[in-house]
Amino acid sequence: MPMTDPRRRIPRTDDILRSAPVEAARASVSEQVIRDVIAGVQQRARHGEIAPEQVESSVAEALARRGSIAARPVLNATGVVIHTNLGRAPLSAAAVDALVTASGYVDVELDLATGVRSKRGMSARAALLRHCPAAQDALIVNNGAAALVLATTTFAAGAEVIVSRGELIEIGAGFRLTDLIESTGARLREIGTTNRTHLRDYVDAIGPQTGCILKVHPSNFRVQGFTAEVDIAQLRSAADRSGIPLVADLGSGLLHPDSLLPDEPDAASALRAGADIVTASGDKLLGGPQAGLVLGRADLVERMARHPLARAVRADKLALAALEATLDGPSTPVESALHADAGRMEERARRLAAAIDAEVVTHDGRVGGGGAPGVPLPGWAVAITAGGAPPTELARRLRTGDPAVLPRLHEGVLLLDLRCIPEADDDRLAVAVRDALTTLVPNDGEPAVTPEH
């Protein structure tokens, strides 16, 4: 290596390890993480991405951002309330406090009065029943798919699950409902067609090999036009004739009707209509942690709880605590975002637009997470043109900035929707946008990157 090679000026690892920022970082991250961060920054310097003199400060900045986990908080400026890629529902302050409380020893499976073992998560189950009294009993597992798998395993392993072809959905990351059900040892008995299924299709399919009837809410798409489906109340008569369970998978976790989402099914209505078992997710419209909710007939819920698979999919103490606090606590961030006041959102958007010299436009948010597909949430957004620079580059700088901001790119325009951003973070968002614009467009007005063609 030539004596003039700048790489010779890259600080040694041992020297960086003795620096004050690294010493401070040892309170929150392991030695291995520190060494990995240092090696990564040194590699950037070797490749010429940063100057050797920037290595120590870059290490300090990286460790300050890193914390004890690699996941970074994100300001969600997309207008999508339940954003799967951002972890779905943000937890309420009450749920966060409950996580801290449950992080130590807690009586998750112990009766403190008698000192003997009790049923797991009784207080969380009681909270769920308080908020959905139409159910006789409840069970909480680790996610919505697990709740459905446990139901079909309990009632139809080695038997048939009757389901409409119009409800054979694929959920996120390519997981198909058909594959989930067949993994339990159950056999699918598909009936009807994609667009039309009738009560007689269910009745004709019921036989000695039937384990259960499954009604699935196709939450992430809509079929319109020449369509027909059988509702739960109609299916109740078919289930009664044969004595088989009627299972309704609702997905979104809505416990009661919401006038904002008139076509979104809820657990209470499904149970009153005749469903024996309802399964749903806890981290969608309910606004809680990742969890699978099982509500329904006491004898059938007990059968599911006693199945060996229930042990493999049970919820941990943190999820149980956060779910209970979500149910019994104040309004959740999801509820607040869904029912945000349009006038207040416009006022906030105009204040942000004035701070960064941008424009306010009307913008429809979305529920997300497979809930209420196609239902608009009218609101406002700040549109940024970035002085002719590529909006994709500004979006990248916002995503990788501090704080990280996820905007929406639509028809070549970068949009910032404040629906899902706590009002207390408005100033942080403005600073993040100004920082991104400053690095994107220098003082002479020329874009710092090559425009797209």
Residues 389-395 have a mean pLDDT of: 90
The CATH architecture to which 74-86+335-440 belongs is Alpha-Beta Complex (3.90)
pLDDT of 227 reads 86
Average pLDDT over the chain, rounded to whole?
92
Query: Minimal CA–CA distance to 248: which of 226, 230, 228?
Result: 230
Are 48 and 65 in contact by the 8 Å Cβ rule? The answer is no
CATH 3.40.640.10 fits 93-330, yes or no: yes
Q: pLDDT per residue over 208-220, tens digit each?
A: 999 999 999 887 6
pLDDT, one tens digit per residue, over 295-315 is 999 999 999 999 999 999 999
In this model, does residue 367 exceed pLDDT 60? Answer: yes
- Number of other CB atoms surrounding residue 448 within 10 Å: 12
Q: Give the Cα separation of 228 and 220 in Å (integer).
A: 18
pLDDT at 451: 33
Q: Which residues contact 101 (CB under 8 A, 6 or more apart)?
A: 321
Q: How far is residue 231's CA from residue 274's CA, in Å, rounded to a whole number? A: 10
Cα separation, 255 vs 266, in Å, equals 5
**Amino acid at site 152:** T
- In this prediction, residue 446 carries a pLDDT of 45
* pLDDT recorded at residue 387: 66
In whole angstroms, give the CA distance from residue 351 to residue 358: 10
With cut-offs at 50, 70 and 90, classify the pLDDT of residue 3.
low
pLDDT reported for residue 5: 81
Q: For the chain, give every domain's residue range.
A: 20-66, 74-86+335-440, 93-330
Span 46-58, mean pLDDT? 93
pTM of the complete model: 0.88
63-67, 132-136, 352-356: the lowest-pLDDT one? 63-67
- 416's enclosing H/E stretch is strand 413-417
The residue that leads in pLDDT, 218 or 322, is: 322
Q: What's the helix, strand, coil split of the chain in %, to 5?
A: 45, 20, 40
Residue 225, judged by CB atoms within 10 A of its CB (0-12, 13-18, 19+), counts as exposed
Question: DSSP letters of 235-257?
Answer: HHHHHHHHT--EEEEEES---S-
Average pLDDT over residues 381-398: 88
Reported as a pLDDT band with limits 50, 70 and 90, residue 69 is confident
pLDDT at 83 over 80: yes
d(CA 352, CA 388): 20
Instruction: Please state, in angstroms and as integers, the Cα–Cα distance from residue 259 to each residue in 262, 264, 280, 363, following that order.
Output: 5, 9, 19, 21
Give the Cα separation of 222 and 301 in Å (integer): 30
Answer with the residue of higher pLDDT: 223 or 388.
223
* Residue 438 CB partners (closer than 8 Å, separation 6+): none
Which residues, other chains included, contact 184 with Cβ-Cβ below 8 Å and sequence gap of 6+?
A: 149, 152, 153, 156, 157
Please report the pLDDT score of residue 444 as a whole number. Answer: 42
pLDDT, residue 371, reads 84
Least confident of 172-176, 339-343, 446-450: 446-450
CA atoms within 13 A on the CB side of 168: 18
Token match 């998560």: residue?
Answer: 121
- CB-hemisphere CA count at 13 Å for 59? 31
Percent of the chain scored above 70 by pLDDT? 95
Confidence of residue 373 (pLDDT cuts 50, 70, 90): confident
Of 86-100, 158-172, 284-298, 394-408, the least confident: 158-172
**Euclidean distance between CA atoms 448 and 307, whole angstroms:** 61
> Is the model's pLDDT at 385 over the cut of 60?
yes
Q: Given its phi and psi angles, is residue 117 left (phi above 0), alpha (psi -120 to 50 degrees) or beta? A: beta
**What gap in Å lies between CA 247 and CA 296, rounded to an integer?**
9
Residue-level pLDDT at 82: 96
Banded pLDDT at 2 (limits 50, 70, 90): low
* Cβ contacts of 355 within 8 Å, gap of 6 or more: 430, 434
Q: Look at residue 277 in the predicted model and tell me its pLDDT.
A: 98
Exposed, middle or buried by CB within 10 Å (0-12, 13-18, 19+), for 130? exposed
User: Cα(263)–Cα(248) distance, rounded to whole angstroms?
Assistant: 15
- Dig out the tokens for 305 from the structure: 């709880």
Q: Which residue has the tokens 């959102």?
A: 345
CA dist., res. 263 & res. 253, Å (int): 14
Residue 445 has pLDDT above 70, yes or no: no
With a CB cutoff of 8 Å and minimum separation 6, the contacts of 35 are 13, 17
- C-alpha span between 391 and 413 (Å, rounded): 6
Stretch 353-372: mean pLDDT, rounded?
93
Q: What pLDDT shows up at residue 113?
A: 94
On the question of pLDDT at 436 being above 60, the answer is yes
Residue 23 has pLDDT above 50, yes or no: yes
SS3 137: strand
Two structure tokens written together for 29? 């991250």
> Which residues are bridge partners to 278 per DSSP?
248, 295
